[in-house]
Structure 1
Amino acid sequence: MKHRRRIDVVLSPEYLDALDTHTLEELGEMRVLVDDLENQLSFYRRVLHGRMDVLRFEQRRRRGEDSRSIIEALPELLAIGNQEGNGNGNGNALDRLHADFAPELPEVERRYTSVMNDDILTRLPDLDDDDLTLALEAFGALEEKLSGQRNALHEIHDALVTEIAGRHVASDPA
C-alpha cells in the first residue's frame, strides 16, 4: 500500500464521504487532524508573508523610495502583518520571519520546502534585482498554494463540525 501524505488524505474527495458511518470519536479525530494541518499551513504562510514584506522593502529601498536600512525598518516590517492582515493575526510577528522553531510540514512539496528553507534574507546584499523578483514570485506561488489548501481545510473543518453538532442535537433528549 502506497503511503499518502496527511494533507493529501484530508484534501481527497473521499475524506468527507459517508460521514454518517463514523463514530463521534472518529469525527473528532478527523477534526483534530484538519486543525493540526491548518495550523501548520497557517504558520508557514505567516513566515512567507514576513519574508515577502522584507523583500518588498528591499525593492523599495533599491528604487530609492526608502532610505532606511533593513535594520532600521525591521520594527515596522514586523508590525505590517498584524496591521494589514498578512496572516491571521495569531502568533508573534517574529514568527513570520524566522522558522527555526517551525512545526514539521512534510505535506508541502519538496520544491516549496526549499523555498521556505532558503537563506534568502541573509543574502539580500548579494542579490540582483532579478533575483529579488524571482524570489518574490516563488514566495507568492507558495503562498497561493498554501492559501488554497487552508481554504479547503476550512471547508472540511466546517463539514466535520456540522456533522458533529448534528449528532449532538439528534441525541439530545430535550
Structure 2
Amino acid sequence: MVEHSGYQQGGRRALDRVLAPEFLEGLGELPLDELRARRDLAEQEEADLSYARRLLQGRLDLLRAEGERRQGVDGAVDVPAARSDAELVAALTDVLADPRRTHHGMGRFTSVEPSRVGEHRRRAELAVADPHLSDLTAMDDEQLAGARERLLALEHELSGDRHRVQEVMDACTEEVTRRYREGLVSVEDALRTSRP
C-alpha cells in the first residue's frame, strides 16, 4: 500500500501548510520575520522532498540495472542479491558508477539538511510493498515491473509537490527582495528581525 504523500487540504503536515492557498495570502503585508519564517518552512520542506526523491531514484536505478541485466543489455551492471541496507548501498554505488548512466539531476543549491529522514525512508519502502525488494534477483519479471511502476508513480507525485513548494519559496524570496529593492527594509532592520 503506497502511503499518500501529496498535498491534503486542511492537513497538519508541513507540506499541507506550505501548499495551502492561504500560505501566500497577504504576503506583502506580513512582518519580515513572519515572511522569513514561511520561506524557511518552504525551504525545509523542499529539502525533505528532494531527499525522498533521491531515495526513490536510487531504488529505481537498482530496478533498472536488474532489468537490463535480465535482458542481457551490453554492459549492464550486475545487481547482487543485496539483503542489508549496507549491501543495498554497495549495489547502488555500482549502479551509479555505471558510465552509461546519463540522467543526473540538476537540483537547486540549498544549505538545508533534510529533517525527516526516517519518515521519507519509510515512504520510499512502503511504495514497494514487497518483502523481496532487498533481493531483486528473487523477484520475477512481473514483480520487478510492478515495483518500478509504483516507484515511478510516487517519484512523479513527489516531483510535483517539490515543484509547487519551490514556487512558494520563490514567491516568498521575491517579496523579501522587493522590500530591499524598494527600501522598505534596511539591512539593520533585517539583522534585528533575524536575531532570536
TM-score normalised according to structure 1 size:
0.76
Unaligned runs of 5+ in 1: 92-100
Instruction: Please state how far the C-alpha of 1:103 moved relative to its aligned partner.
Output: 1.8
* Cα distance per residue 1:105-156 (max 9 Å; x no partner): 47x9x87661278665412122110100010011000100000001001111
Measure how far apart 1:83 and its partner are: 4.7
SS of equivalent residue, structure 1 residue 65 = coil
Counterpart-to-counterpart distance in 2, 1:90 and 1:29 = 19
Residue 8 and residue 134 in structure 1: after superposition, are their counterparts in 2 closer, same or farther (change >3 A)? same
Q: CA deviation at 1:64?
A: 1.8
SS at match of 1:46: helix
**Is 1:78 aligned with 2:117?**
no
Instruction: Give the 5 Å matches for 1:28-67.
Output: 28-66=36-74
State the aligned residue count.
162
Output the amino acid matched with 2:177.
A
Higher helix share: 1
Cα pair distance change 1:69/1:112, threshold 3 Å: closer
1:74 & 1:111 partners in 2: Cα distance? 19
Distance (Å, rounded) in 2 between the aligned partners of 1:111 and 1:70: 23
**Matched residue, 1:127:** 139
Q: State the one-letter code of the partner of 2:117.
A: P
Q: Identify the match of residue 176 of structure 2 among 164, 168, 173.
A: 164
Question: What residue number does 1:95 align with?
Answer: none
**Identical counterparts, % of pairs:** 35
CA contact (8 A) 1:42 1:87 kept: no
The 1-side partners of 2:185 and 2:62 are apart by: 57
Whether the 8 Å contact between 1:55 and 1:136 is mirrored in structure 2 is yes
SS in 1 for 2:72: coil
Unaligned runs of 5+ in 2: 1-9, 81-89, 187-196
Equivalent-residue separation in structure 2 for 1:61 and 1:139 (angstroms): 19
Whole-Å Cα distance in 1 between the matches of residues 168 and 72 of structure 2?
46
SS of 1:70's partner is coil
Q: Secondary structure at the match of 2:117?
A: coil
Render the CA deviation track for 1:43-84: whole Å, top value 9, x for unaligned: 111111111011011111111225652159754522469852
For the residues of structure 2 that align with 1:173 and 1:75, how far apart are their CA atoms?
A: 48
Which residue is 1:11 aligned to?
A: 19
CA contact (8 A) 1:49 1:87 kept: no
- Whole-Å separation in 2 of the counterparts to 1:17 and 1:45: 29
Distance 1:31 1:74, change over 3 A: closer
Question: Scaled by the length of structure 2, what TM-score is found?
Answer: 0.68
RMSD of aligned alpha carbons: 3.5
Give 1:163's aligned amino acid.
Answer: E
The amino acid that maps onto 2:96 is L
